[in-house]
Amino acid sequence: MKKPMIKVQHRKIAANEADNSRRQFLKIGSIAVVGSGLLLSCSSDDDFTGPVDPDPNAVFDLGSGDVGILNYAYALEQLEAAFYTQVLDGSYWASASAQERLILEDLYKHEVIHRDFFKAAITGAVNGDTSKVLPELEFDFSSVDFGNRSSVLGTARVLEDTGVAAYNGAGSLLETPDYLVIAGKIVSVEARHAAAIRSIFFDDPKAFAGDDVVNANGLDVAQSPSDILTAVGQTGFVKTEFTANQLPTG
């Protein structure tokens, strides 16, 4: 097994262009972030006068509060966007059925939108202080056979189910109501992704809402950031080390 780059130690966890709709989404999202008063005012930012370049040799920490949760979501969206980028470059997608190609292409576009939206939202929230924005991560998907349907869809299923559980678990940690609204809109899309992948991957008409993801009370799985980042680290997909020292473990 590859050495995880997202390290866990009690409370310490190191963890192609789309179409015009993506640009329109980002334009609307940027307006919403600024117009709804989502910029966070932190005492540590009172004397901030301009962008600060991050130290390239330092291990990035996701931070605390809403910014920490947004960086956490940004890391997961970077992972999914990078994965689907390689899916669309792989031989399985090129030879897949028209239905499966369409589903995977839509998932790719959505994840790129989500990734870029979070980068813009976090940059606005920290007044352009790039030292507080998770850098672009490097990934290693060499364990995935992008020419094999089972390998691609099996990995996609894990990533999508993990994404839904991550948003469900992080929602209660957000302090700003507007951020919770945005997270709710994104997790509903991630749940649609998960249902679509599960429906085409499993030979089971009930797989879209299987017992492994929806409990007896009709509620979806929710997992804490520490559990999610531990699981993501164990995949070996993430090459860039980062920590989550300030995020709640529960």
Name all domains of the chain by residue range, CATH numbers in brackets: 8-29+60-243 (1.20.1260.10)
pLDDT band at 215 (very low <50, low <70, confident <90, very high): confident
Residue 64's alpha-carbon distances to 35, 60, 160, 166, in angstroms, are: 23, 12, 25, 17
Report the C-alpha gap between 42 and 175 in whole angstroms: 13
Report the C-alpha gap between 45 and 170 in whole angstroms: 24
State the pLDDT at residue 3.
Answer: 42
Residue 43's alpha-carbon distances to 46, 47, 48, 81, 82, in angstroms, are: 5, 8, 10, 34, 35
DSSP 73-90: HHHHHHHHHHHHHHHHHS
Q: pLDDT by residue (tens digit) across 73-105?
A: 999 999 999 999 999 999 999 999 999 999 999
**What percent of the chain shows pLDDT beyond 70?**
77
